[in-house]
Amino acid sequence: MNPTLEALFNEPEKRYLQPDELNVLSQYVSSVPERIQVYRQLRDSEVQTLQPVADQLQQRFSQVPEAILKRSIQHGLLVLRYAAMAMLIDDPSFLTKRLQPWLPEMVAAFDTLVVDEALHQLLAQRLSSTLTAQQFALLSPALVVAQQLLERAPSTNLAREAPLVGIL
């Protein structure tokens, strides 16, 4: 949950919540029906959202091995599921909590950064056309965090296809 909201529940032993604090809670609660609506839409159109993005990606990166493209598309699906959840609970930092440093390191290890960044851009474009401006605005902070996670991909010396057995 959004850390500001979560903090409201931390110290009931100290005092009752003040009007401005209850306002924060009310604002979130009144936004929940819209958030659930967007969430449902994202859930029900997962394949329809990503398939055109995957097709465009494959055209643009025809020289890239299919295994890399598939991994990238899986990253895209994963990010969108986490972004949808982050939108639902109004906490873009949800992505960082769960996927930092895992996602940037996976991106680096499998060398998918260029494809991932292109996919992210195409996905954002696609969502901005399938969602209303107001709906997209709810999802957008989480997508920004996802973009920042990709930018944090470190350089790595892990051989990506190195098998586990026989590494020495």
Partner 1 sequence: MISVADLLTDERLPSNYFASDVYVRGTLELGLLENRRGDRLLAIPEVMLKSIYAGLTSETGQAAALVLRNCGRWWGKNFYARFCEELSDYQKKAVADLPLAEFMLSLQECWRSHGWGLLHLNMDYYNHGFLVVEIQHSPFTIHAIQANKPSGALETGILQSFFSQLTGRDLNCMQTSCESLGADRNRFVLGLENRLQPAAAWVEAGQPHDAIMTQLISQ
Helix-strand-coil split of the chain, %, nearest 5: 75, 0, 25
Q: Which of residues 70-99 bind partner 1 (CB under 8 A)?
A: 70, 73-74, 77-78, 81, 97-99
Tokens 């960044």, residue located? 117
What backbone phi and psi angles, to 5 degrees, belong to 68?
Answer: -70, -45
Structure tokens at 82: 């986490």
Stretch of 12-20, 112-120, 144-152, 159-167 contacting partner 1, by CB under 8 A: 159-167
Of the residues 38, 91, 110, 145, which one makes contact with partner 1 according to CB under 8 A = 110
**Among 103, 83, 104, residue whose Cα is nearest residue 94:** 83
Distance of alpha carbon 71 from alpha carbon 144, whole angstroms: 21
Distance of alpha carbon 83 from alpha carbon 8, whole angstroms: 23
Q: Residue 12, interface with partner 1 (CB under 8 A)?
A: no
Q: Residue 63, interface with partner 1 (CB under 8 A)?
A: no
Whats the size of the chain, residue-wise? Answer: 168
Stretch of 4-12, 17-25, 138-146, 154-162 contacting partner 1, by CB under 8 A: 154-162
Stretch of 27-35, 121-129, 139-147, 155-163 contacting partner 1, by CB under 8 A: 155-163
Residues that bind partner 1 (CB under 8 A): 46-47, 50-51, 54-55, 58, 66, 69-70, 73-74, 77-78, 81, 97-99, 101-103, 105-106, 109-110, 156-168
